[in-house]
Amino acid sequence: MSQIESVIVVGASAAGVSCVRELRQEGFLGSITLVDKDQHGAYERPPLSKQILMQADTTHHDIALISDEELTALNIEAHYGDGVCELDPTRRRITLESGKALTADVILLATGGEARRLPIEGADLPQVLVLRHYEDALNLRQRLTADTRVAVIGGGFIGAETTASLSKSGAAVQWLDAAALPMAHLLPTELCEKIVANHCAQGVALTPHCRLDKFIEQPDGSVSILFEDTTSIEVDVIVMGVGMAPSTPYLSEAVSAELLNPATGGIQVNDNQVTKFSGIYAAGDVAAVTQADGSTLRHEHWQSAQHQGERAAAAILNKEPPAAPVDWFWSDQGDLHIEMAGKILPTKEHLVVRLEGDWPVYFSVVDNRVVGAVSVNNPNAVRAAMRMIKNNVNVEPSQLANPELPLRKLMRG
């Protein structure tokens, strides 16, 4: 493509905002338009299951991702509260719900995802909420009084965070998970047991192996949750934390067939965020990225979205892509600050436990190389592990497990 003079970024969140910042940082002088369907514009999503639920006076202004002042300083035209309803990838044109059409030399699709709802009877009742946007969190917060009975469905991080935040806010929380143990698909089992025990000690009532049948609205506005074994519970609010799906309703059937990765539902891109259409890029939770081994991966966390936005900017400007960081994720669950880096392997023989402080640190180690780590209320341990992963440091598992040996010493190999 000849000289690029205009860029449209669809989605003003972690991926989209990091892309527009990076474009300016790298000296791009052309026009940038940042479009988002959300009237509240660019805000951080992680606080939606944390501060926004726990602090009654926190608003979207407190969690803004980019301020109006910065947008002005960077000469970025923000167009909020108007969603894209159609993309013509060959003409690089978007049509907005307002009827307005915009074209550009480059379009970045950073439209993230929408929260899933379980396909069961009653899932569309107004008392059944999800958490993806600011308005979702606000809706939930406004329903909370001292004794609100809430059922949180889902044993992933969003379910765990929501459970902990609501419980801390004084709600009576029932945590319903289809699995035997929440988060066991994400973290070492012993650690999950300890985290879940912590939440239960704060008053959360966990129901594992939960088989939902349907939700029935009662005349007093409460909802009965019926289980397959014919038992039931009554609650005031239900929150479904059962994952998200990439948001691409603006792609026609024909364009979807060209752009989407069928296995993940995301927009297929190469490792420079480039789709098969010239000038069309995708980044963040919506992007299904081809990996070095040919497989496709769609990440759903903040650091990855942010990095992919920067990568897209580099590719748009035909510059060297930024180095890939060690994968990193955090989850705040009440008083617990969990951090993870790299890959936590499910296999026990690769697990090294370091008993340090109140919470053990877990490392995944393969052939004397740390490949992953997870800690609770101990971010320094994960930072040290990230250095070891990045530098491919050779380390004896017995040394890692020894809390007498400072991790910073082991970082040097």
Name the site residues for ligand FAD (rule: CB under 6 A): 10-16, 35-38, 45-46, 48-49, 83-84, 110-113, 131-132, 158, 247, 250, 284-286, 300-303, 305, 329-331
* Cα separation values, 89 from 86, 255, 270, 287, 308, Å: 9, 8, 17, 16, 20
Spatial CA neighbour of 35 closest among 91, 97, 90: 97
In the complex, least distance from residue 309 CB atom to ligand FAD, rounded to whole angstroms: 7
Looking at beta carbons only, is 193 or 327 nearer to ligand FAD? 327
In the complex, least distance from residue 8 CB atom to ligand FAD, rounded to whole angstroms: 10
Task: Tell me if 140 sits within 8 A of 40, measured CB to CB.
Answer: no
Place of tokens 């890692």: 400
Looking at beta carbons only, is 35 or 373 nearer to ligand FAD? 35
In the complex, least distance from residue 35 CB atom to ligand FAD, rounded to whole angstroms: 5
In the complex, least distance from residue 136 CB atom to ligand FAD, rounded to whole angstroms: 8
Looking at beta carbons only, is 62 or 396 nearer to ligand FAD? 62
Spatial CA neighbour of 259 closest among 109, 97, 94, 82: 109
In the complex, least distance from residue 133 CB atom to ligand FAD, rounded to whole angstroms: 6
In the complex, least distance from residue 248 CB atom to ligand FAD, rounded to whole angstroms: 8
CA–CA gap between residue 23 and residue 11 (Å, rounded):
15
DSSP 8-state assignment for residue 61: T
DSSP code per residue over 82-134: --EEEEETTTTEEEETTS-EEE-SEEEE---EEE----SBTTTSTTEEE-SSH
In the complex, least distance from residue 302 CB atom to ligand FAD, rounded to whole angstroms: 4
Place of tokens 């379009």: 107
Looking at beta carbons only, is 105 or 300 nearer to ligand FAD? 300
In the complex, least distance from residue 144 CB atom to ligand FAD, rounded to whole angstroms: 16
Spatial CA neighbour of 137 closest among 241, 229, 228, 33: 241
In the complex, least distance from residue 29 CB atom to ligand FAD, rounded to whole angstroms: 24
Looking at beta carbons only, is 131 or 407 nearer to ligand FAD? 131
* Cα separation values, 341 from 33, 326, 361, 380, 388, Å: 34, 7, 12, 12, 11
SS3 assignment, position 321: coil
* Angle (CA) 159 40 279, round 5°: 90
Please count the CA atoms within 13 angstroms of the CA of 193 that sit on its side-chain side: 4
Looking at beta carbons only, is 312 or 365 nearer to ligand FAD? 312
Looking at beta carbons only, is 11 or 279 nearer to ligand FAD? 11
The neighbouring-strand residues paired with 390 are none
Q: Is the dihedral of CA 70, 324, 187, 181 positive or negative?
A: positive
Looking at beta carbons only, is 113 or 188 nearer to ligand FAD? 113
Looking at beta carbons only, is 34 or 410 nearer to ligand FAD? 34
Looking at beta carbons only, is 10 or 400 nearer to ligand FAD? 10
Tokens for 135, please give them. Answer: 């308005």
Tokens for 351, please give them. Answer: 């697990």
Looking at beta carbons only, is 34 or 407 nearer to ligand FAD? 34
In the complex, least distance from residue 255 CB atom to ligand FAD, rounded to whole angstroms: 13
CA–CA gap between residue 59 and residue 68 (Å, rounded):
16
Report the residue closest to ligand FAD, judged by CB.
112
* Cα separation values, 366 from 218, 350, 392, Å: 54, 6, 11
